[in-house]
Amino acid sequence: MSFSVRLSTDLIAVEAGATVPVSIEVVNKGSETDRYELQFEGIDTEWTAVPEAVFTVEAGETHSEKAFIKVPRASESVAGNYPFVLRVRSLNSGEARSAQGVVQVKPFHYLTMEMSPKKGMYSPTRRQNSFAVTILNLGNTTHTLQLFGNDPDEACTYEFESDQITIDPGQQRTVELEVVPSTTRFLSSSRLHGFSISGRSVETPTVMTSAQGQLEQRPFVTPASLTFLLFLLIIGIGWFALLPKPPTIALTLGKRQAVKGESVRVTWRAQNANSVQILVNGNPLVADPPLNGETDYIAEQTGDIVFSARAIRDSKESPEESEVLQVVEPVPSPKPLVTLKAKRRTINLGESVELTYSLTNAVEAYLQPTGQKLPLSLTTISVQPTVEGTITYEIVATGKDNQVDRASVQITVVDKARVVILAFEAKPPKLDVGGGYVTISWQVSNAARVEIAGGPETIVPENPNSPGSQEIMIDKSTSFTLKAIDASGKSVTKTVKVEVASPIEPPTGNQDPPTSPPPTTGATTGGGH
């Protein structure tokens, strides 16, 4: 039983989100009615719809079946060509036939742009004005966007983190933007600038997206505000000049928690004072401390250590300022652990070998003898020895407390020819007297030149890596030698010998005739005349 399958068209162009019918023609060439099963392979099953996966075709008839290709309109449906195979299987005999086709997903474009915040403020005291421009590609093609900004009055300049960005389907990119007015005034009224940010596709200029924003330009002060501030300033200066100031002091620690034996910087600043008092756990930290100073305190015991400070002027004292330092025992760092393995222990000179390693509790590691620093996030490295012999590769890892661990592996490097003689033989291996024709055949791999010596002349094949043979006439025992040379000049040889039988020499006339055996009975007479 036999049948054939044919697609109505090999190339099916589909708009993302649309449905395209596909016609499949099945011809039953057998003599019996057959049932067939239809199935798509090579593309997403969600892209195909087969209303009738199993159908019947009468003997000798041609049946046309409909299937549908529907590609979702989503960024995951990237524009391009997707080969597929339509497989039809006979449910009676199990025989299968297939037809190949290509689904061509057409591109569609959908870009959106958002800007945050929508409104910014710029003044002489605030010159940085940043916006985050977020672009989302909801289409199915990659776009390189050229970004630019504009406003109706051309009153602002626009500085992008990057003028061009590439955004793939389904990808979101955020670009920082600085918007600055072209001119600023110290004394003026507020002004609002509306502007827009646009992105145009370099590949498809008709595709673009944009977002709107506002920038409020504020002066340092308005005329009315300046007059009022001057009035308040005059009053404040007079009041402050007449007000007696109490002594104050500020105490700060370089850190609030330290390890035993660690140094901590203690700083104090006093105002309106004649002297200061700096204590640690109730004892003076510094003898005769200055009004403004700092010192290093070494934490020699664990627990909470209280630092206090007080400023004094005449008979007045400032409120006590205090800070607490928590001192803990140092935690020993874990020892680094290293493992090192090689995929192969013996390699040819010029080849690379992959080393697999693991680093635990290490802050840095080096591979010796190359001196290469190893990335802590990786687990493999490829090395290529340049000398012959046994080379020891060692990883030296260092931990946080300068603890060291090592692991090593030995690689044996041999310098041998890369060429290989796969076959070299002579047929027949023996010839009768007088010799005859013998067929020499050969096959090598990775050869730059092949020479076959022993015959009337040396054979040099044009293509050294192709199998070859040649018929040669010989009249005596002959040894044939194949020499294969690789690209680096190294060679291997192999010899085969063909034996030719030696002729049998006929007897010569000088030889004595064979003697008759003596009689076994009767008397022997001697003497003769």
* pLDDT tens by residue, 428-475: 999 988 888 999 999 999 898 999 998 888 899 989 989 999 999 988
Number of Cβ within 10 Å of residue 25's Cβ equals: 14
Residue 494 has what DSSP assignment?
E
Model pLDDT, residue 120: 84
Model pLDDT, residue 67: 92
Segment 159-212, tens digit of pLDDT: 898 889 999 998 999 999 888 887 766 666 677 888 899 999 998 899 999 999
Mean pLDDT by 10 residues, the chain (529 residues): 87 91 92 91 90 90 92 90 93 90 92 90 72 91 92 86 90 90 70 88 91 81 71 84 82 88 90 88 88 89 90 86 88 86 83 89 90 88 86 90 89 81 91 89 92 88 91 90 87 91 72 51 34
Model pLDDT, residue 265: 92
To the nearest whole percent, how much of the chain has pLDDT over 90? 39
Q: Which domains does the chain have, with CATH numbers?
A: 3-106 (2.60.40.10), 111-217 (2.60.40.2310), 248-328 (2.60.40.10), 337-414 (2.60.40.2470), 420-500 (2.60.40.10)
d(CA 376, CA 254): 32
114 residue type, one letter: E
Number of Cβ within 10 Å of residue 321's Cβ equals: 18
Model pLDDT, residue 527: 35
Model pLDDT, residue 194: 87
Q: Which residue has the tokens 């596709």?
A: 201
d(CA 113, CA 165): 13
Query: Which residues are within 8 A (CB) of 293 and not within 5 positions of it... i.e. 6 or more apart?
Result: 267, 268, 286
Model pLDDT, residue 438: 93
Average per-residue pLDDT for the chain: 86
Q: Which two tokens stand for residue 446?
A: 């990775």
Residue 411 has what DSSP assignment?
E
Give the dihedral sign, CA 412/413/418/424.
negative
Model pLDDT, residue 210: 92
Model pLDDT, residue 144: 93
Model pLDDT, residue 133: 92
Cβ atoms of 444 and 433 closer than 8 Å: no
Query: Which residues are within 8 A (CB) of 491 and not within 5 positions of it... i.e. 6 or more apart?
Result: 417, 419, 483, 484, 485
* Collapsed DSSP state (helix, strand, coil) of residue 151: coil
Which helix (H) or strand (E) segment holds residue 122: the answer is strand 119-122
Distance, CA of 197 to chain centre: 35
**Burial degree of 16 (CB within 10 A; 0-12, 13-18, 19+):** buried
Smallest CA-to-CA distance from 254 within 244, 239, 241, 264 is with 264
Q: Which two tokens stand for residue 507?
A: 């007897």
Which helix (H) or strand (E) segment holds residue 234: the answer is helix 223-242
Residue 516 CA: distances (Å) to CA of 231, 512, 519, 522: 165, 12, 9, 16
* Collapsed DSSP state (helix, strand, coil) of residue 308: strand
Residue 272 — φ and ψ, nearest 5°?
55, 40
For the entire predicted model, the pTM comes to 0.41
